[in-house]
């Protein structure tokens, strides 16, 4: 019997979210729609310049774990925080969502990671992330029982930035595959793909990763093509399953010669796109680890993503299991 449905590995980050206009991004040299890595000094500078903000536990894979738990799934998380105020917030929030999180916190510097997220009127989010304690995640933080006991392990491409995290992921993947489990990843960000294209392709082609999540920009970046169709044809050959999101156009899931088209759900208002891809992965993986069809997996992902973009912050405020029941999923 599996102990968990999904084990997520990611950067444990507290999001600090504020609204801003386009001019603010330009004036502060922020690349719109991207995840910009920053140091502690720039984090202090941007925090001083941002307007009224809300703090929410985030981090891509942490959001996915919270989403799986909200659907009623059994989720676990590996990620590194520090013994400080933001670390306490992170521990409380993810456990309160029902996620098993037992990674030992760092005692001392650097502090818990934080991301200043600026949301423009079009709902697009631009992230400025100081990784802090995240860079200390290493193989010693891998809990072998959780790695072997989860049906699917899921990690974020962002984790390829802190060097020792790669070792932790490879070790977790070896435990998972030895136990007959599967491993999945999200490409995370086009700039992240640019940094690690060769390594990401090797993870897929070597069989270290079975399932890949991406959006249309990331998949085109991965294969260095302007053609979405060409990129989709390429990824079919490189992994067992790929789920590719396309914003309001829904998503496409491919497995071998099989192609499944998923519609986006109708929304009342686009508020904040933070967490959309993370929650799509949560819905998909909840369905997948419970034996649902690819169509149902995609529909659950689409539902979760559509709900989270109508609120500020990346963690679901509704009970996703109840929301899925309402629409017959």
Quick one: pLDDT at residue 46?
95
pLDDT average, residue stretch 308-327: 85
Domain at 147, CATH number: 3.40.1190.20
pTM: 0.90
Residue 183 CA to residue 147 CA, distance in Å, equals 10
Q: Which of 27-41, 118-132, 142-156, 161-175 has the highest mean pLDDT?
A: 142-156
**Which one-letter DSSP state was computed for residue 316?**
-
263 within domain boundaries: yes
Quick one: pLDDT at residue 244?
97
Range of the domain at 246: 4-11+59-107+136-327
Strand-pairing partners, residue 117, are 17, 127
150 touches 285 (CB < 8 A): no
Quick one: pLDDT at residue 241?
97
pLDDT by residue (tens digit) across 27-72?
A: 999 999 888 889 999 999 999 999 999 888 888 999 999 999 999 9
Residue 314 has pLDDT above 80, yes or no: no
Alpha helices in the chain (DSSP H): 22-27, 40-49, 60-70, 85-96, 144-149, 163-178, 190-205, 216-222, 228-238, 276-288, 294-308, 320-326
pLDDT average, residue stretch 158-185: 93
pLDDT by residue (tens digit) across 183-229?
A: 999 998 888 899 999 999 999 999 999 999 999 999 999 999 999 99
Quick one: pLDDT at residue 190?
86
Lowest mean pLDDT among 21-25, 258-262, 309-313, 320-324: 309-313
Residue 142 has pLDDT above 70, yes or no: yes
Q: How confident is the model at residue 248 (pLDDT cuts 50, 70, 90)?
A: confident
300 touches 316 (CB < 8 A): no
Give the chain's domain count.
1
**In the block, which residue shows the tokens 């829904």?**
250
**Which one-letter DSSP state was computed for residue 239?**
S
pLDDT average, residue stretch 93-109: 93
Quick one: pLDDT at residue 1?
62
289 within domain boundaries: yes
277 touches 292 (CB < 8 A): no
Residue 176: both structure tokens together? 């998972």
156 within domain boundaries: yes
92 within domain boundaries: yes
pLDDT average, residue stretch 241-249: 93
23 within domain boundaries: no
Quick one: pLDDT at residue 226?
96
Quick one: pLDDT at residue 165?
92
> Within 13 A of 266's CA, how many CA atoms are on the CB side?
2
**Over the chain, what is the mean pLDDT?**
93
Strand-pairing partners, residue 153, are 7, 183
Listing DSSP states for 33-73 in one string gives TSEEE--HHHHHHHHHH--SEEEEE--HHHHHHHHHHHTT-
Quick one: pLDDT at residue 265?
82
SS3 5: strand
281 within domain boundaries: yes
228 within domain boundaries: yes
Please name which of 214, 198, 290 lies closest in space to residue 4, comparing C-alpha atoms: 290
Quick one: pLDDT at residue 81?
96
The alpha carbon of 262 is separated from its chain's Cα centroid by a whole number of angstroms, namely: 20
77 within domain boundaries: yes
| Helix/strand/coil percent split, the chain, to 5 | 45, 20, 35
Bin 207: left if φ > 0, else alpha if -120 < ψ < 50, else beta: left
192 touches 31 (CB < 8 A): no
294-308 vs 276-288: helix crossing angle, rounded to 10: 150
Share of the chain above pLDDT 70, in %: 99
pLDDT average, residue stretch 129-150: 94
> Within 13 A of 69's CA, how many CA atoms are on the CB side?
23
Query: Length of the chain, please?
Result: 329
SS3 176: helix
Residue 317 has pLDDT above 90, yes or no: no
């Amino acid at each position: 019997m599996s102990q968990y449905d999904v084990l997520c590995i990611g950067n444990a980050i507290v999001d600090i979210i504020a609204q801003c206009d386009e001019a603010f991004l330009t004036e502060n040299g922020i690349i719109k729609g991207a995840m910009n890595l920053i140091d502690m000094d720039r984090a202090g500078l941007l925090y001083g310049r941002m307007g009224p903000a809300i703090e929410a536990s985030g981090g891509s894979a942490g959001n996915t774990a919270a989403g799986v738990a909200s659907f009623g799934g059994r989720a676990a998380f590996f990620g590194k925080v520090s013994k400080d105020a933001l670390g306490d917030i992170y521990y409380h929030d993810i456990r309160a969502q029902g996620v098993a999180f037992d990674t030992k916190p760092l005692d001392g510097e650097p502090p818990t990671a934080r991301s200043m997220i600026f949301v423009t009127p079009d709902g697009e989010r631009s992230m400025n992330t100081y990784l802090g304690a995240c860079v200390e995640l290493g193989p010693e933080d891998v809990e072998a029982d959780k790695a072997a006991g989860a049906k699917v392990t899921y990690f974020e491409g962002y984790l390829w930035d802190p060097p020792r995290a790669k070792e932790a992921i490879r070790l977790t993947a070896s435990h998972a595959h030895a136990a007959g489990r599967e491993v999945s990843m999200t490409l995370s960000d086009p700039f992240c793909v640019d940094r690690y294209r060769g390594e990401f392709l090797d993870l897929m082609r070597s069989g270290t990763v079975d399932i890949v999540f991406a959006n249309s920009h990331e998949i085109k970046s991965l294969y260095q093509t302007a053609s979405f169709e060409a990129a989709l044809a390429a990824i079919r050959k490189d992994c067992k399953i790929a789920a590719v999101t396309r914003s309001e156009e829904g998503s496409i899931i491919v497995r071998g010669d099989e192609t499944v088209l998923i519609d986006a759900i109708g929304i009342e208002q686009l508020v904040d796109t933070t967490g959309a891809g993370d929650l799509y992965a949560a819905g998909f993986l909840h369905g997948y680890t419970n034996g649902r069809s690819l169509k149902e997996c995609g529909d659950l992902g689409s539902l979760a993503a559509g709900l989270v973009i109508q609120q500020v912050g990346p963690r679901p405020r509704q009970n996703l299991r109840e929301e899925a029941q309402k629409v017959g999923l």
